[in-house]
Structure 1
Amino acid sequence: MMYGGATLAIMASGMPIALALGTVAVIFMYFFMPGASLDTVTQNVYEEMASITLLAIPLFILKGAAIGKSKAGQDLYSAMHVWMGRIPGGLGIANVFACALFAAMAGSSPATCSAIGSAGIPEMRKRGYSGGFAAGVIAAGGTLGILLPPSITMILYAVAAEQSLGRLFLAGIGPGLLLVVLFAAYAVTKFKAEYRAAQRAYAADPAAHPILAKEHFTMAMRFGSLPRVMPFIVLLSGVMIALYGGYATPSETAGLGGILALALIALIYGVWRPADLAPILESTLKESTMLMLIIGMSLLYSYVMSYLHISQGAAQAIVALQLSRWLLLAAILVMVVVLGFFLPPVSIILMTAPIILPPLKAAGFDLIWFGVVMTIVMEMGLIHPPVGLNIFVIRNIAPDIPLRDVIWGTLPFVLLMAFAVVLLCLVPSISTWLPNLVMGLPSR
């Protein structure tokens, strides 16, 4: 209790998360652990971070930065728009699909929101879609960046839970597609409602409304949109084949993806000069440094918790409550939701894993399946206040949309994610069938 209270107090002071976790860990090491422990702080941090799996993180960030800083997002969105223009709400669906594909290439939620939203939101608003709807679609679509592989959040969960990263990546594909379908279905429903409202307004006042306009795209225009997009689809497919076909480890796959992404933007967009590459490398360095610092301090924080038997005691206290397995799961997910009000997914995973995973494993839950469920719950945290990282990304690229409209626009997607979690609890095979098919049943 004292450890958690000290953590909350220091975080409330405004100190960065990484420094807050490291400060708490060092203070408790000084007062409650042998004096020699302080001499091993750097050694402990280094040993905890010396993981071949964590090596994939900066390399996937490089791949995402290369794609995100180029015009790949706009080209991908344009291609989706042209191909789905005849479907009711096709522009909204195009944004969802573009977010899903870009997320699978970049592995970053903010990058997906920024890349697709910078093109998608102005286009939706120009065609009469409400600001809240446009913002909600992009913000929710961006959350797929931490669910669809390669997901940096899942890499960290695999390390914290000591689970197979390849199996975890595969387990996220089914639920990711489920969310894409749910988001697309809502986009159609919402479009029809706004279209009917526009028709009623037109009947009362015959002034042209952009949403009533019909767009026509020829087959030549459709196929003409593909050449700039197909190389990145090939990149995504190649990375997945290399990873799941057993041809390369996750770290090797990340390195291959980063190099190929740099090669593609050089060939397609002419991004090869040092001045062009500088923003990509700078973004990669900043994000990687920040993330690795959080990881290192979080692992030190977890080490102190384990040494002082805080995590074991908390896990035993949870077990002692003798909750039914589903009530236990519900209580843990509610805790994750509350933490999502204040913390990013990276910190939630690394801070809670030592406490929540042992009771869940003892209750018979599949930790791969739980990793997917937890990821979706943390996705909800990206689009609900007060933190809602994606909300602030949207505000940055569309400052003319009131914050109130952005929040109301995202709430239906939060409910859809909650529905997906319930569905995964009722039908776990949505997540587990693909890894079992590709990699076989897990050993017990």
Structure 2
Amino acid sequence: MDPLSLGAIVAFSTILVLFSGISVAAGLLVVSAGFLIVFDGASSLNLMPEVFFGKLDNFALLSIPMFIIMGAAIASTRAGADLYEALERWLTRVPGGLVISNLGACALFSAMSGSSPATCAAIGKMGIPEMRKRGYPDSVAAGSIAAGGTLGILIPPSVTMIVYGIATETSIGRLFLAGVLPGLLLVALFMAWSIYSTARSSDGSALIPTSYSWAQRFEILPRVLPFLAIILGVLYAMYGGIATPSETAAVGALLCLVIAMVIYSMWSPVAIWAVLRDSTRESVMILFIIGAAGVFSYMLSSLFITQSIAEWIGGMDVNRWVLMGMINLFLLIAGFFLPPVAVILMAAPILLPIITTAGFDPIWFAVVLTINMEIGLISPPVGLNLYVINGIAPDIKLKTILVGSLPYVGCMVVAIILLCLFPGIATWLPDMIMGAEL
């Protein structure tokens, strides 16, 4: 059978299997085993365990559970609430300061925790009731938190960037740096839209600031600054040549646990066990998907599907930006139905040779891919963040949350367009700090 036709059958079969409700990792293994047996014979299954564990035999993978523990320790405390309160007290005099506080808290907390649902839950529990009480429209209150929660997969340290780096054998340090300026760009776009929509939709009462004394502003800083110092310390250790990402992640995880114990009195063995248990579950899930995606990629390569797709696309007589538009459309649709880690592991090995042949920078492409995944987190039918917000504020209809989040999807599309026009937004910082790649 023609490899391209076979690839179409594999894609259709994979979608059907994943839509059946089976886990992503198990679904990828089932599809891989089925096609290997049919087209390569049962003996080809002998290599599956070696490929699976070989994909996990990577020192860089140690950073994933460490960063997850780091985020779980932060998420298990009142750090999110304190971060929100601190920003509210310091930004209260800024026009639209409350919505800016929420988005800023989302950006910082998501960077610390690396989890979009955890960010929505932590900041939303405090921010949504307060914004509604102050007269902000429900769509702005819910949509801003849902969108702000997506920033964690772009702003470093990002687990999805680690996964992309491992899948494409790209420098994780460069990927982290590449996410900084685009992350700040998204925060700025989110804030600009939120202030505009608030001023347009409200009667102005939402913009009336609450007065806080200087004592109240400084009072809360000792509870949030240590966590921010850890994030800055982790980044400095990586880019200062002091330690590898895995080593700095381990130290960061330990320090976050210690600070959670000291500042928030998390001394209970039950609470500590919950952090380690939840972190282990999430880490195993991600690592299982990584191993299964390795087997899936092996199957595609073994049946010459990957090579044929790359050759077919490379031979298309189309402008490279038309090609990039097609890739973005594919990523956007995939992100509607699958979690970011699964999309990256399945698509990145196939797309990498295509985008490099077309003359695109793989570091730049990682940022574009990640923003596409962010759109999926606030778009139906899956739209995980939408359901998290609905759980926090069940009296806000899901339709209202969706309508409120759509303008932020537009902000992300604008960010992608700006990245296409000015790729230096993603590549300038890595090149400046780590030197231009040859």
**Do Structure 1 and Structure 2 share a fold, with TM-score over 0.5?**
yes
Q: Is 1:80 aligned with 2:75? A: no
Superposition pairs for residues 146-157 of structure 1, below 5 Å? Answer: 146-157=153-164
The aligned counterpart of 1:124 is: 131
Report the more deviating stretch, 364-373 or 352-361.
352-361
Q: Is 1:41 aligned with 2:48? A: yes
Equivalent residue for 1:291, pick from 286, 291, 302? 286
Aligned-pair CA distance for 1:358: 0.8
Give the distance between the partners of 1:111 and 1:33, measured in 2 at CA: 43
Report the more deviating stretch, 181-190 or 169-178.
181-190
Report the more deviating stretch, 47-56 or 407-416.
47-56
Q: Deviations over 1:16-43 (max 9, x none)?
A: 2111111001111212224332123222
The aligned counterpart of 2:145 is: 138
Superposition pairs for residues 49-198 of structure 1, below 5 Å? Answer: 49-195=56-202, 198=203
Q: Deviations over 1:115-167 (max 9, x none)?
A: 11121111111212122211111111111100001111111111112110000
The aligned counterpart of 1:205 is: none
Whether the 8 Å contact between 2:97 and 2:207 is mirrored in structure 1 is no
Whether the 8 Å contact between 1:88 and 1:191 is mirrored in structure 2 is no
Give the distance between the partners of 2:17 and 2:227, measured in 1 at CA: 44
Superposition pairs for residues 288-367 of structure 1, below 5 Å? Answer: 288-367=283-362
The amino acid of 2:353's aligned partner reads: P
The aligned counterpart of 2:3 is: none
SS of the aligned residue for 2:157 comes to coil
- Call closer, same or farther: CA 1:212–1:418 in 2, change over 3 Å: closer
Give the distance between the partners of 1:394 and 1:299, measured in 2 at CA: 34
Equivalent residue for 2:368, pick from 360, 365, 373? 373
Give the distance between the partners of 1:123 and 1:171, measured in 2 at CA: 34
Give the distance between the partners of 2:9 and 2:321, measured in 1 at CA: 29
SS of the aligned residue for 1:163 comes to coil
Give the distance between the partners of 1:40 and 1:161, measured in 2 at CA: 21
Whether the 8 Å contact between 1:108 and 1:151 is mirrored in structure 2 is no
Q: Is 1:384 aligned with 2:391? A: no
The aligned counterpart of 2:269 is: 274
Q: Deviations over 1:219-260 (max 9, x none)?
A: 111111211111111111111111111111111111111000
SS of the aligned residue for 1:54 comes to helix
Whether the 8 Å contact between 2:96 and 2:207 is mirrored in structure 1 is no
Normalised TM-score (structure 2)? 0.96
Q: Deviations over 1:93-118 (max 9, x none)?
A: 00111111112211222221121112
Structure 2 runs not aligned, ≥5 long: 1-7
Give the distance between the partners of 2:168 and 2:107, measured in 1 at CA: 26
Normalised TM-score (structure 1)? 0.95
Q: Deviations over 1:167-223 (max 9, x none)?
A: 01001001001111111111211221233xx26xxxxxxxxxx63754111111111
Give the distance between the partners of 2:131 and 2:297, measured in 1 at CA: 45
The amino acid of 1:357's aligned partner reads: L
Aligned-pair CA distance for 1:291: 1.4
SS of the aligned residue for 1:216 comes to coil
Q: Is 1:420 aligned with 2:427? A: no
Aligned-pair CA distance for 1:364: 0.8
Give the distance between the partners of 1:13 and 1:183, measured in 2 at CA: 35
Give the distance between the partners of 2:32 and 2:42, measured in 1 at CA: 14
Give the distance between the partners of 2:52 and 2:93, measured in 1 at CA: 55
The aligned counterpart of 1:206 is: none
The amino acid of 2:239's aligned partner reads: Y
SS of the aligned residue for 2:61 comes to coil
Q: Is 1:254 aligned with 2:249? A: yes
Whether the 8 Å contact between 2:97 and 2:209 is mirrored in structure 1 is no
Q: Is 1:18 aligned with 2:13? A: no
Whether the 8 Å contact between 2:95 and 2:207 is mirrored in structure 1 is no
Structure 1 runs not aligned, ≥5 long: 200-209
Give the distance between the partners of 1:86 and 1:214, measured in 2 at CA: 6
The amino acid of 1:59's aligned partner reads: M
- Call closer, same or farther: CA 1:212–1:340 in 2, change over 3 Å: closer
Identity of aligned residues (%): 49
SS of the aligned residue for 2:119 comes to helix
* Aligned-residue RMSD, C-alpha: 1.3
Whether the 8 Å contact between 1:88 and 1:192 is mirrored in structure 2 is no
Give the distance between the partners of 2:14 and 2:302, measured in 1 at CA: 17
The aligned counterpart of 1:8 is: 15
